[in-house]
Structure 1
Amino acid sequence: MHPILSDRRRFLVYITAWMMTGVLIARLLVSADLANWSFAMVFSLPLALFGGFLTSSAYFVCRSLPFNRRSFSLAALIFASASMISGISWLGLCYGWNKVLVLALDEVEVLHMSSHLSVLFFITGFAVYLLALLAFDVYIAFDNIREADRREAASRLLARDAELQVLRSQIDPHFLFNSLNSISALTAIDAVAARTMTIALADFFRQTLAIAEKEKISLNDELRLCENFLAVEKIRFGKKLGMEFEVTTEAETALIPPMILQPLLENAIKHGIRNLPKGGIIKVTIFQRDCWLHIAVENPVSSAPGNSTGNGLGLNNLRQRFFALYGEQARVSWQRTDEKFVLEMTLPFEHNNHE
């Protein structure tokens, strides 16, 4: 739709501008002693309205020449031809309207249409239409840029969602396979514990399904998921597995992507606690500072790790998830020493208003 006609306010501004142009034409005719104010206003205002209507057609001329399918010579030819037609139309209307006023007002002539004045009217019609063509061309160019930006943003959003789904599909089976292996190991040792662990695992996956499709959940929901997971692992490792959570009150209301802590606890158990004869304590520290949420997970490791050191797939998946959600704003880093493994995450703090 025409950009002027599609917006009432824009249309009123456009008509007002052309009416003011008509007043300006009348003022010039009076200043040149070509007509008095009454005749000048009656002559120029209808011409100005016609000029606004005629000039608005320049939008459709520009739309008929897409930027990717035009050449400079073709555009120049069409713009010049359209402006020429506009100038001739404007001049013809001036002559015709002048004759109508002569008959209607019983005057000899409202204006003396000299050759000099005729050339001036023609040039005015030509120049105004050419300027309108250039203005609409610029408008269409910027509109195309905005539309391209909107399409690009939509494509980025779809790509991000697709990437998150792929990452989740890589992570979710990882939870299930490790848990089933734990239950399988317990069935030969303690059937009652295996049954208890199966029930706890069902509760864990029930909560997982409830939050997995959400883009953001509260930190409290994530911590409850971790508690259910640790309840399962506690049955297997007993006193070998110790946990310390230090979470500030401000951080509890933060919004975070789902299932970012639970995989880290699983890695800490698999690559750290499991390889230590006496086990150890996994420490989780979460606090909010300024506009950032800081999360740190620390666990002891064996000084001589074997094949269970991992390939970093889970940590790289976490880094990719953060990049898909936050771009360059989030940071994930980790380091290993002979005695411990420390992972640190920093992401923008988003407050959960429902907490």
Structure 2
Amino acid sequence: MNPFLSNFRTVSLTYAVWLMTGCLLAAILVMTNICAWSNGLLFSIPTMLAFGVLSTSAYYVSRSLPMKKRHFFQVTGIFGGSAFLIGTIWLWLCYLWNKATWLFDENWAGIHFSQQMPIMLFIIGTLLFLLSILIYDVLHILDNMRQVERRQAASEVLAREAELQVLRTQINPHFLFNSLNSISALTTIDAAGARNMTIELAQFFRQTLALSEQQKIALTKEIALCNHFLSIEKIRFGKKLQVQMTIDAESESCLVPPMLLQPLLENAIKHGIRDLVDGGVIVVTSKVRDAWLYIALENPVDMDSKNLAQGTGTGLKNLQARLHSLYSGKSRVEYRTEADLFRIEITLPLELTPNSAT
């Protein structure tokens, strides 16, 4: 079955085109003084609609030769041969239909077939069939492009799902082990602290699993997840770890990828706060300007630390690749270290939650 004629709308549109082509053929017959309008329309419209049925075979002719495997002689032989055959069949249909209209024995029916008339009709039928093949070629190309786009979109969705699946397993094992060790140590000296840490750890993992199922979440939800993470880390590091969050109220309802900030906070602690004797303050800010969401994270670092020198930057590169995939290259991630301070700035296209958008 011809897939391009698989619904009533496309069939109607196709035969509307052939109807107009029939009117055009009638106009040619009238302008060349072959017949009057009534005779021309009675001859042209039924025969052209019949040709519309014949032209559907152009789909199979076009499909018989894939674009990449076409050669001049193949194209000439198959396309030319099929056009010759259809042109001949249509010429005979025209001849038989004209014979039938003469039976009406009326002035408005039938046209005179001159010696040039069969040649003209044959050429018209052949050229129209070749044009039909070309049109189906174009439709095939467009359909292939749409399929490629759909496959690409499906691949991107699968890649994002795989990425989120990896995120679930990428929570630093050291963070989990250290948290469990801290809980174990606290059970003997601070049972209430151990209980609080256990609750925060459970809440953190519960939210991590829930939010990672979504492609994008409100910034407030990401901040809430980060607060559970920081509550656990503050129990471990005590006063060494200080966090200052300045979240613009306008940015709270902005959509961001889940697990966007938590890995950055984890890196700030691992490569910054942990190596400083007096610890330091991690500063997180967000603001909305025009059609963009700006998020910045800043933390002190020990430039002489071996832990900092051993960092490979893989996490930041993965973050750039992830945002590039999600936002089609419209996002930006910039980071730098200066004056014992590491700063990362993220710029995302502004997207709001449905409730805030209304």
Deviation, structure 1 residue 28: 3.6
1:162 corresponding residue in structure 2: 162
1:147 aligns with: 147
- Are 2:299 and 2:342, in contact at CA under 8 Å, matched by a contact in 1? yes
Aligned-residue sequence identity (percent) comes to 50
CA contact (8 A) 1:302 1:338 kept: no
Deviates further, 289-298 or 182-191: 182-191
Check the 8 A contact 1:271/1:310 in 2, yes or no: no
Task: Give, in whole Å, the separation in 2 of the partners of 1:352 and 1:317.
Answer: 25
Of residues 150-159 and 164-173 in structure 1, the stretch that sits farther from structure 2 once superposed is 164-173
334-343 or 282-291, which moves further after superposition? 334-343
- CA root-mean-square deviation: 2.8
Distance 1:214 1:37 in 2: 66
Match of 1:240 in 2: 240
Structure 1 residues 179, 13: CA separation in 2 closer, same or farther (over 3 Å shift)? same
Aligned in 2, Cα 1:188/1:135: closer, same or farther, shift over 3 Å? same
Q: Please name the residue that 1:84 is paired with.
A: 84
Query: 1:4 deviation in Å?
Result: 5.4
Say yes or no: does 1:335 pair with 2:336. yes
Shift of 1:220: 0.8
1:221-236 matched pairs, under 5 angstroms:
221-236=221-236
Deviation at 1:192, TM superposition (A): 4.4
Which residue of 2 is the match for residue 95 of structure 1?
Answer: 95
Between the two proteins, the alignment pairs up a number of residues equal to 354
Rounded to whole Å, the distance in 2 between the matches of 1:49 and 1:241 is 81
The residue number in structure 1 matching 2:267 is 267
1:284 is paired with a residue whose SS is: strand
Shift of 1:246: 0.9
CA contact (8 A) 1:248 1:287 kept: yes
Q: How does 1:113-262 map to 2 (within 5 A)?
A: 113-171=113-171, 173=173, 175-187=175-187, 190-262=190-262
Q: Which residue of 2 aligns with 1:302?
A: 302
Aligned to 1:281: 281
Q: CA deviation at 1:338?
A: 4.8
How do 1:48-67 residues align onto structure 2 when only pairs under 5 Å count? 48-67=48-67
- What are the ranges of 5 or more consecutive residues in structure 1 without an aligned counterpart? none
Deviation by residue 1:148-203 (Cα, 9 ceiling, x = unmatched): 23223322332343244334422354542342243345456545433332233222
- Counterpart Cα distance in 1 of 2:36 and 2:338: 96
Please state whether the residue corresponding to 2:134 is helix, strand or coil. Answer: helix
Instruction: Work out the CA distance in 1 between the residues paired with 2:320 and 2:138.
Output: 42
- Structure 1 residues 108-132: Cα deviation after superposition (integer angstroms, max 9, x where no partner): x944433222222222222222222
Residue of structure 2 equivalent to 1:348: 349
1:44 and 2:41 matched = no
Instruction: Report whether the alignment pairs 1:319 with 2:343.
Output: no
Query: 1-side partners of 2:56 and 2:146: how far apart?
Result: 22
Cα distance between partner residues in 2 of 1:140 and 1:318: 38
- One-letter amino acid of the counterpart of residue 317, structure 1: N
TM-score normalised by the chain length of structure 2: 0.86
Between 47-56 and 76-85, report the one with greater CA deviation. 47-56
C-alpha distance in 1 between matches for 2:114 and 2:279: 106
Q: Which residue identity is paired with 2:316? A: L
The 3 A distance-change label for structure 1 pair 216 and 173 is farther
- Deviations along 1:63-116, whole A, 9 cap, x unmatched? 222223433311211111111112211221232223223334289x94443322
Deviation at 1:147, TM superposition (A): 1.9
1:301–1:338: 8 Å Cα contact kept in structure 2? no
Counterpart of 2:74 in structure 1 is 74
Deviations 1:295-321 (A, max 9, x none): 222222335324365523433333333
For 1:28 and 1:304, the matched residues in 2 are separated by 89
Contact 1:163 1:324 in 2 (8 A): no
Q: Which structure 2 segments of 5+ residues have no match?
A: none
Give, as a single letter, the amino acid of the residue that structure 1 aligns with 2:338.
T
Partner deviation per Cα, 1:21-78 (whole Å, 9 max, x = no partner): 3333334434444444443333333222212222232122212222234333112111
CA distance in 1, matches of 2:298, 2:34: 92
TM (norm. structure 1) is 0.87
Q: Which is further off, 218-227 or 88-97? A: 88-97
SS of structure 2 residue aligned to 1:350: coil
